[in-house]
Structure 1
Amino acid sequence: MSNFIPLINVRSVYNFQESLIKINDYISFAKKEGLEYLFYCENKTMYGVAEFFKKASKENIKPIIGLSIELDDKKIITLIPKNKKGYGHICLISSQLNDEVKLSDDKIYDLLKECIDKNIILVTNVDDKNDFFNDAEILNTNEKNIFFNTVRYISDDDKEHYRGLFALKNGITINEANDLYKINESYPFSDEILEVFPETENVGKYICDSVELDIFDSNEKHMAKFIAPDNMPSFSYLKQKCLAGLNHYFRNIKNSDIPNEYIERLNTELNVIEKTGFADYFLIVHDYVAYARRNDIIVGPGRGSAAGSLVSFLLRITTVDPIEYNLLFERFLNPERITMPDIDIDFQDNRRDEVIEYLFEKYGRYNVATIVTYQTIAFKSAFRDACRVYQIDMELVNLITKSLTEDYLAFEEILKTQKLIKEYSEKEEFIPIFKLVEKLIGCPRQTGTHAAGIIISDVDLRTVLPIRQGLNGIYQTQFDMNYLEEIGLIKMDLLGLRNLTTIKEILDLIKTNHKKDFSLSKIDLNDAKTFKILREGNTTGIFQLESQGMTNLIIDMKVNNINDIAAASSLYRPGPQEMIPEYINNKNNRRVSLVDKSLAKILLPTYGVIVYQEQVMQILQLVGNFSLGKADIVRRAMGKKQIDYMISVKDEFISNAIKNNYSEEKASAIWNWIEQFAKYGFNKSHAIAYSYIGYWLAWFKAHYPAEFYTALLNGVMGNPSKTSKYIKEVKHFGIEVIKPSVKPPYNKFEKTRIKSVYTSSENRIYMPLTLIKGIGRDFITTLNNVVDEHEDLFNDLNSFFFYMKNKGLNESNYTLLAKAGSFDCFGYTKSTMVANKDFIFSAMMAFNENLPLEKQTKIENLFEEQLNEEMESNYEKEVFGFYISANPITKLKNENAYFKPTDINKLVENMFDVNIIGQVSSIRIIKDKNQNNMAFVTVFDDTETIDLTVFASNFENLQYDLVVNKNYVLKIKTQKYKNKITGILENIVKPI
């Protein structure tokens, strides 16, 4: 007999910072001790129930789940469902307990009275409520001699670690926790329990025998039903919509008869959808996409394999014609491997919530939910928390952790790879800290929200799983996405994409400035000007093409159509990158060798290289006579290296190929060739659809650069590096960039202090006050309101500061505004406004609010500082993180032209003894393998930034001459690292 028996109130780490018991550890403990069943009862929540149930069942341990409720008087009620109906009851109760209103004990009793019945076993130490719980089977621990204490850690050895967790939870030190936390909440031995609570084992077995529950046993799919007009059957309505879409596409857009290929493809897809019963799914997605389009919310052209569906295209769920691009429906919905369709939709990210709100209103508050995620504790956070509890100096903590370039979730891994941390882990005073860290790593700290997933159910979600109050009044599942489909819930992904918001803003700016209102579908996909800027490498701000490596690939490929962009984004990934040289060579030299000429139609579009998963499927179909459905199954198996299946299916492929007049040798060669590509091939449907987004942005950049850059700048507020880069580029287009000002350019642009605005009449972009680090939106909103109230606000300094008194203008944001040049509209330099701060605030304090403006003492006779261009430029660098008006390095380059400096943005690989002029922005010193100091130095000029390596042999001589925020003429040689131009610092030619 085991030394342990299953106990009821076992808390897990899902009651955040109230337990050290991880589910995997709990089940490992049960296996070791030979326990046949386990209880799992969180306090009020059910976050870990699905994970526990699945993992316990897998190990042939019977999971007994429940819901514990700790009342304000510290008494505990635990509800254990006997069956699926009882499970539905506790899901409802947990959902109510996690709604927006905290329930009092009396309200909890009312809830229990309403919800529980004979399908629940109620275990309690409450003596006076036995008659309160209707038909529930009640086991009162005070009467039955049942062990009912809460267990928060497995072993007595963990008590010290739990005290650390207790300290962390309560914001106290370990010493204070030792004084406050006296009880023992470990998992006790059976003989200890039974001596005091003799009925515990019998009751445990009784409960186990009474419970017949599998939360994953239902084949029901809780997909919401789409209500078609006149209650038409869903499939009939779907077919009607598709036929109407097909007629419209060819009669109104293509201006031609409908080709048989489209009719046959539509019939094939509709037959599969009818057989699988997915008509409602398509109609629901169609409906919320149509809602977005009706409300002028930009929707992406498609995402993932759904772009391979003609039905999706005809419903305008996607906007890419799958037949035109040879995309396959079976890659999306395979009739030979029935899985739920997965239609992911991109919306402009600042209006995605409106679409979710629409679903919430249409299907009901308890039928729509977002999906919970759990933010787990990684090493850095665990270590800092543990050190805080044990009162370790934070400077030492920073020293220990500063060498970490990434965070870790595997404790053993960090000790293997981080020498300094391993050294400290062996120091006596740090041993308890690291033991606590090991316990904390991997524990969930708090909930989050899945970035895209939404559940839409045909039943009240509270009957299927527990939910909780989420953001904006929309509920959230308590189970994460890994367990939803198994209980019949279908995840739909509604994603927010920043680039679509940028596109919408560009369209709005074009409409304002040029009175043009056009649709994305009308953009010419073969525009020469657009492909010219791409071939020139002018890819800044272009979706998926902006990185240096992608830019180089786009140049080398000489892109001239959408297919080229799709191929570039598909090849530029680990694995397929090996094929880039062959692809470029074949494309540019028009020499393609094929493994067999019969594959020409499939492979010539990608110059003999398999780029896409769809090509693997087509080859399997052509050579091996596989259906596309089976070909997709084989492709997946190749990618996952399912060896046994591959051996059997290879024989079938070769046998069929021989019947198709291929030799056995040739068939085997084709199989081996495609097998190596299957794990690298990319989803063509996704690649083509996303290439549209990149192309649209490139088209706007080519034809409406001012609107393009204005929208880009608004999208990167708070990112000085990108903002600086975009400002430099926009100036090359002859567009003037105006720094932020408290005074708007025109009254009609009073809101321009929040966002950038381009005025076509002046060819200027006015930057917003939000560009200034430290200026908050509350102040800007107040300033906007003052502008609306007082037309004479900007007549002079006197008017401005009189009206702004007690309106959020304090000495701190005054200084920021002055240094940014936002008071330049009053005719004074930055330096003068900074120097006169005390004088101006003294005058403001003297204003009498009971007198009109004309009777106030005027702010005048400011002490005017002499113009100092370098200081004023440095002010800009301080408050923006970069220069707007003039970069002093430009002046330095002119003054030091003798050294023939090269602009950083013009550096290429393998340049030797080249001079650059720039400012050092950071120096990071590390130890090399010989434990000598070396450094990584970041330098910027007026064009770009570069990372330089200073090897130990050189750093010893240069370390005292290199200073952050100083300007230098530097001699370097260049190299390429991870597709980025970097350099090696050879010498400091001259500090300047």
Structure 2
Amino acid sequence: MSNFIPLINVRSVYNFQESLIKINDYISFAKNEGFKHLFYCENKTMYGVAEFFQKALKENIKPIIGLSIELNDKKIITLIPKNKAAYKYTCIISSNLNEDVKLNDEEIFDLLKKYVDNNSFLITNVDNKNEFFNNAEIINTNDKKIFFNPIRYISDDEQDLYKGLFALKNNLTSTEANKIYKINEAYPYADEISQIFPNSEEIGKYISDNVNLNIFEDNEKHMAKFIAPDNMPSFSYLKQKCLAGLQHYFKNVKHEPIKEEYIQRLNHELSIIEKTGFADYFLIVHDYVSFARRNDIIVGPGRGSAAGSLVSFLLRITTIDPIEYNLLFERFLNPERITMPDIDIDFQDNRRDEVIEYLFEKYGKYNVATIVTYQTIAFKSAFRDACRIYQIDMNLVNLITKSLTDDYLSFDEILKTQKLIKEYSEKAEFKNIFKLVEKLIGCPRQTGTHAAGIIISDTDLRNVLPIRQGLNGIYQTQFDMNYLEDIGLIKMDLLGLRNLTTLKEILDLVKKNHNEDFTLSKIDLNDAKTFKILREGNTTGIFQLESQGMTNLIIDMKVNNINDISAASSLYRPGPQEMIPDYINNKNNRRVSLIDKSLANILLPTYGVIVYQEQVMQILQLVGNFSLGKADIVRRAMGKKQIEYMMEVKDEFINNAMANNYSNEKAVAIWNWIEQFAKYGFNKSHAIAYSYIGYWLAWFKAHYPAEFYTALLNGVVGNPSKTSRYIKEVKQFGIEVIKPSVKPAISKKLEDTIKLNYTSSENRIYMPLTLIKGIGRDFIATLNKVYEEHSNLFDDLNNFFFYMKNKGLNESNYTLLAKAGSFDCFGYNKSTMVANKDFIFSAMMAFNENISLDKQTKIENLFEEELNEEVESSYEKEVFGFYISSNPLTKLKNENAFFKPNDIIKLVENMNDVNIIGQISGIRVIKDKNQKNMAFVTVFDDTESIDLTVFSSNFENLQYDLVTNKNYVLKIRTQKYKNKITGILESIVKPV
């Protein structure tokens, strides 16, 4: 194949579901064919341009990138920039094409006329348009006869697979797609093109010779500039702010003279920031964090290694004193391995958008952008799509994919590790399906938005990369985060953290209910009551400590300070978990064996166990005389197992250690020891900072449980399992839970009308009407409006139903409100209000709005029904999806204690012959590979739910005994599936 055939319009998988060509496959194909250059042009977007360019360069293939524009009449205009200036214009054109408002053909021509000049090739099969593009170097395909068809797959034998993709895109079956799709859009052979388009090679060489573009070359940093007061230089202003912060900290917080250690640390950090030119970065982060604090938006205490920076602390970017906790600046910004600083900030998640909006307004709409992500197709999704196209029974599909424990394995790994999937891949009727699946895996299906990343640029982003319209009017990059720094853009991470929102709700409730205005940073960190509830395992709702495994560790560790919480969260991870027994034993028995006594100051705080990356760095510094910068590089190498570098630096470490009065044997032993744990060490800066969030939540739980649980419940609306568990715990604190009522919950003040969220007052938690299934916000808004207009609405039944006539109260929502207890305020129980529905509605219909209320026929002499516990529970489950007053399953557990039932929430993996008592909420019967019936059964108790598998051998005997909405004692064995505890049903012990 010739190297100069210009196959311009190569579509890739980034034109979603319109191509099978992945960039890696395209580059590999070109490399195998010996291509020296390669074209790449998506339709209207440039999503894959950076990836293509970088990967082509790596293989010494000249990348020629461009932008194709398919018009409404299916004719195509393709733009190929010759140089960086033209590339910028190409980015602007693609950006404009990806606004919310789509351009028509004439508007596209005007756009091209404005931005295209003779620095670009414009290749087109559009007739008589030269007058629009008289500044461009035009290659008209009708005149030059070059190959211009879109290419959507590489080889002819992929046509059937592309038809499958075509079917998926257009919601067709494979049979329907075969009838419709007839075009061959494979990468054609050179001799075929040469016969039809004899001058293609000449044109291809001409284009290649005249393109001189490297989008990654000589890229200046496009960090936005911070404008300091009086145009003071950024670094001078940063230094001034830090010194002021240091003086304030010692005068108003520590109440002592400034320590020399802090001055030296500050000077050290500032010198590195000045040398690296990162002053603007710190000031910009400080600015938007200050905006959040000024506007009462909760900001996290710190995240990641930035908490190790004194500059960050003094600017109040973080609120953890790094010297107090022995945190290292070099773990954050290493002068011997200079990379961009990476300060991640957590904000309360319901107000994060306000901070982004502030940046948008301050720096300009074309200077601020979110970052695109690509949601790729994984095996299970690809398999289900392919099976739908080939019309395979979905029950069988569910059975096949049920065995899949990790959806993110490669296609080959899945076939090797998943026996059932492997079996079906070898069946004749599944051959085409698995071929299509292999092609679909890894293809982007649609765009998404990076959860945290924001770009802030000193120039119009369209001069640097193509952008697209994003959410809330804020633009989004077309390149993903992997290529942004290489073109000079700096990512800043602004994250939303639900736990901060919970803390803000608690603070507001405490202020409202107790008139106490707390500042998180002033909460006592040594509160005995807080650590008592943690040591007792009362960790529900506590950030990072809520799982059963973490709870057990907290109990065993006997936590009594922030450092203990930090160590627990750092150790409870794969790998370091093996060190937990040593840590607990050493801590509780106060017996610590050190590899060398010189390491005491570093290791005694963690009882002789290396828990943190910072400890590895400190040991390398102390024993091997490495700078902290070099120590961080060595630590990274140990973690990544960079053998060659480690062997080189090991000799240096041992020689330095021996010069430092360590024996050769001791130096080797210390090296081997830290090498063993370096890959497990956790970032202490992050662990300490996040431990504060957990501690604050625990403190409020200990001192203000009603407000704590109110905020917690607001965070789990729509999650019946967690709601039920939290309400059960609330009662253990002696807090009364008040069911939703049509009557304003707290007082008759106008601001206390019927709530949409949980609220609390006087050690009571009030549930909102929104929790009732079928009661909408519009009805609640009407209810509030009627109350505002008629303050006597809730004096008695007559008032209420008179005013609610023709106001949205109907027989359906009446029943829901009655069963929820929302009419209990009128002095009648649920059963009575349910039983008298017809009578009440008859009376409502008789109300005459032209007659005064005192002359209306009164609703009286209701037939009163007794309400028993069983009926009340059934009503609650029906309208809320969970129990409030009493959970019948709790009672069943007590009555059947002989069977030693386990709470579902406390189950862990690999438990055998375990009894649970629960109710079946769902049964799904499918066929297994032998076409026999098996089932998936969902069971819940008063703590949590669990999914159980009933294999065909067992289901045959149990199928008629398993009934939804019935309670059972079940014997199961547990396993972990996708990080969730599931089970296998072994037998029904007995129905209960």
- Compared CA separation, residues 397 and 292, structure 1 to 2 (3 A): same
Distance, in Å, in 1 between the alignment partners of 2:885 and 2:552 is 31
- Structure 1 residue aligned with 2:203: 203
Matched residue, 1:757: 759
- Post-superposition Cα deviations, 1:709-740, rounded to whole Å, max 9, x if no partner, equal 11100011111111111111110011011222
Aligned-partner Cα distance in 2 for 1:395–1:905: 28
| 1:192 CA displacement | 1.9
C-alpha distance after superposition, 1:833-868 (max 9, x if no partner): 556667777887888889887898877787766645
Q: Which aligned pairs between 1:885-964 and structure 2 lie closer than 5 A?
A: 885-892=885-892, 896=895, 899=898, 904=903, 918-921=918-921, 940-942=940-942, 960-964=960-964
Instruction: Determine the structure 2 residue equivalent to 1:822.
Output: 822
CA contact (8 A) 1:717 1:770 kept: no
Q: Give 3-state SS (helix, strand or coil) of 1:41's partner.
A: strand
Query: In structure 2, do the counterparts of structure 1 residues 802 and 473 end up closer, same or farther at CA, with 3 Å as the change threshold?
Result: farther
Structure 1 match to 2:30: 30
CA contact (8 A) 1:907 1:981 kept: no
Task: Give 1:660-675 correspondences, 5 Å limit.
Answer: 660-675=660-675
- Shift of the 924–625 alpha-carbon distance from structure 1 to 2, 3 Å rule, reads farther
Letter aligned with residue 662 of structure 1? Y
C-alpha contact 1:917 1:968 (8 A) present in aligned 2: yes
Residue 475 of structure 1 is matched in structure 2 by 475
Alignment of 1:51 with 2:51, yes or no, is: yes
- Cα deviation for residue 893 of structure 1 reads 5.5
Could you tell me how far apart the structure 2 residues matched to 1:177 and 1:928 are?
30
Question: Which deviates the most, 25-34 or 281-290?
Answer: 25-34
Counterparts of 1:796 and 1:425 in 2: how far apart (Å)? 70
Whole-Å Cα distance in 1 between the matches of residues 970 and 209 of structure 2? 79
**2:635 equivalent in structure 1:** 635
- Return the alpha-carbon distance in structure 1 between the equivalents of residues 845 and 873 of structure 2: 31
Does structure 2 retain, via aligned residues, the 8 Å contact 1:374–1:444?
yes
Q: Which amino acid aligns with 2:188?
A: P
Instruction: Report the secondary structure of 1:131's partner residue.
Output: coil
Superposed displacement of residue 928, structure 1: 12
Match of 2:548 in 1: 548
Is the contact made by 1:6 and 1:37 (CA closer than 8 Å) also made in structure 2?
A: no
Q: Which moved more, 1:959-968 or 1:646-655?
A: 959-968
Superposed displacement of residue 106, structure 1: 1.4
The answer as to 2:373 corresponding to 1:347 is no
Given that 1:920 and 1:963 are in contact with CA atoms closer than 8 Å, whether structure 2 keeps it comes out as yes
Task: Measure how far apart 1:955 and its partner are.
Answer: 7.9
Distance 1:629 1:714 in 2: 45
What CA distance in whole angstroms lies between the structure 2 residues aligned with 1:407 and 1:865?
54
User: Which stretch of the first structure deviates more once superposed, 25-34 or 624-633?
Assistant: 25-34
* Contact persistence 1:377–1:409 (CA under 8 A): no
* Residue equivalent to 2:303: 303
1:607 paired to 2:610:
no
Q: Distance in 1 between matches of 2:386 and 2:637?
A: 45
> CA RMSD for the aligned pairs?
3.4
Counterpart-to-counterpart distance in 1, 2:41 and 2:506: 53
Matched with 2:559 is 559
Aligned to 1:98: 98
Cα distance change on mapping 1:877 and 1:580 into 2, 3 Å: same
SS in 2 for 1:238: helix
Q: Could you say if the C-alpha distance between residues 684 and 72 of structure 1 is closer, same or farther in structure 2, counting changes exceeding 3 Å?
A: same
CA distance in 1, matches of 2:416, 2:794: 64
Percent identical among aligned pairs is 83
Q: Deviations over 1:406-448 (max 9, x none)?
A: 4346333333333444444444444333333322221111111
Partner of 2:511: 511
User: Given that residues 901 and 917 in structure 1 are in contact (C-alpha distance below 8 angstroms), is that contact kept between their aligned partners in structure 2?
Assistant: no
- 2: CA distance, partners of 1:698 / 1:124: 67
Structure-1-length-normalised TM-score? 0.93
The reply to whether residue 331 of structure 1 matches residue 327 of structure 2 is no
Q: 1:472 is paired with a residue of what secondary structure?
A: helix
Query: Unpaired runs of 5+ in structure 2?
Result: none
Residues 45-66 of structure 1 show CA distances to partners (whole Å, capped at 9, x for unaligned) of 1111111111111111111100
d(CA) in 1 for partners of 2:638 and 2:199? 56
How far did residue 629 of structure 1 move?
A: 0.6
Q: How far is the alpha carbon of 1:903 from its aligned partner?
A: 7.3
Whether the 8 Å contact between 1:4 and 1:33 is mirrored in structure 2 is no
Query: Separation in 2 of the partners of 1:510 and 1:686?
Result: 28
Contact residue 757 and residue 767 of structure 2 kept, 8 A: yes
Letter in 2 for 1:494: L
Cα shift at 1:901:
6.1
The superposition leaves residues 1-27 of structure 1 with CA deviations (integer Å, 9 ceiling, x where unpaired) of: 449944001111111111121111111
Q: Which residue of 1 aligns with 2:497?
A: 497
Q: Cα distance, 1:939 vs. partner?
A: 5.4
Distance 1:440 1:852, change over 3 A: farther
Q: State how far apart, in whole Å, the 1-side matches of 2:975 and 2:104 are.
A: 67
Residue range with higher mean Cα deviation, 418-427 or 677-686: 418-427
Local SS of the residue matching 2:342:
coil
- 1:354-381 Cα offsets, whole Å, 9 max, x none, are 0000000000000000000001112232
Question: Take 1:853 and 1:192, find their aligned partners in 2: how far apart are those partners?
Answer: 92
Q: Structure 1 residues 174 and 959 mapped into 2: Cα distance closer, same or farther (>3 Å)?
A: closer
Cα shift at 1:987: 7.1
Report the CA distance shift for 1:75/1:810 in structure 2 as closer, same or farther (over 3 A): farther
Superposition pairs for residues 206-221 of structure 1, below 5 Å?
206-221=206-221
Name whichever of 203-212 and 169-178 sits farther off. Answer: 169-178
Distance 1:843 1:299 in 2: 55
For the residues of structure 1 that align with 2:796 and 2:215, how far apart are their CA atoms? 72
- Separation in structure 2 between the aligned mates of residue 637 and residue 524 of structure 1, nearest angstrom: 40
Deviation at 1:263, TM superposition (A): 0.5
Shift of 1:256: 0.7
> For residues 867-894 of structure 1, what are the alpha-carbon distances to aligned partners after superposition, in whole Å with 9 as ceiling and x for unaligned?
4542331232233232112222344466
Q: Is the 8 A contact 1:750 1:784 kept in 2?
A: no
What's 1:175 paired with? 175
- Mapping for residues 102-121 of structure 1, pairs under 5 Å: 102-121=102-121
Conserved in 1, the CA contact under 8 Å of 2:11 and 2:40?
yes
| Structural mapping, 1:256-275, within 5 Å | 256-275=256-275
Do 1:899 and 1:915's aligned partners in 2 also have CA atoms closer than 8 Å? no
- The Cα of 1:768 is off from its aligned counterpart by 1.5
| Paired residues for 1:697-712 under 5 Å | 697-712=697-712
State TM-score, norm by structure 2. 0.93
Alignment partner of 2:468: what SS?
Answer: strand
> 1:193 deviation in Å?
1.7
Question: Cα distance 1:183–1:940, how it changes in 2: closer, same or farther (>3 A)?
Answer: closer
Query: Is the Cα contact below 8 Å between 1:602 and 1:615 reproduced in 2?
Result: yes
CA distance in structure 1 between the partners assigned to 2:83 and 2:156 by the alignment: 34
Number of equivalent positions = 989
**Aligned counterparts, 1:412-423, within 5 A:** 412-423=412-423
8 Å Cα contact 1:245/1:315 also seen in 2: yes
Provide the rounded CA distance (Å) in 2 between the counterparts of 1:486 and 1:811: 64
Q: What residue identity is the alignment partner of 2:22?
A: K
Distance 1:845 1:62 in 2: 82
Q: Quote the Cα distance in structure 2 between the aligned partners of 1:217 and 1:278.
A: 22
Corresponding residue for 2:725? Answer: 725
Q: Deviations over 1:765-807 (max 9, x none)?
A: 0111232345444444444344434435445556555655665
Counterpart-to-counterpart distance in 2, 1:868 and 1:904: 26
Query: Which amino acid in the other structure matches residue 517 of structure 1?
Result: D
Which residue of structure 1 lines up, in the alignment, with residue 232 of structure 2? 232
State the partner residue of 2:772: 772
> How far apart are the structure 2 equivalents of 1:848 and 1:175?
65
CA distance in 1, matches of 2:525, 2:333: 28
Q: Distance in 2 between matches of 1:811 and 1:429?
A: 54
Partner of 2:588: 588
Instruction: Please say if residues 10 and 41 of structure 1, whose CA atoms lie closer than 8 Å, have aligned partners that are also in contact.
Output: yes
SS in structure 1 of the partner of residue 8 of structure 2: coil
Q: Which amino acid aligns with 1:643?
A: I
**951-960 or 43-52: bigger deviation:** 951-960
Q: Which whole-Å CA distance do the structure 2 matches of 1:911 and 1:187 have between them?
A: 56
Where does residue 458 of structure 2 map in the other structure?
Answer: 458
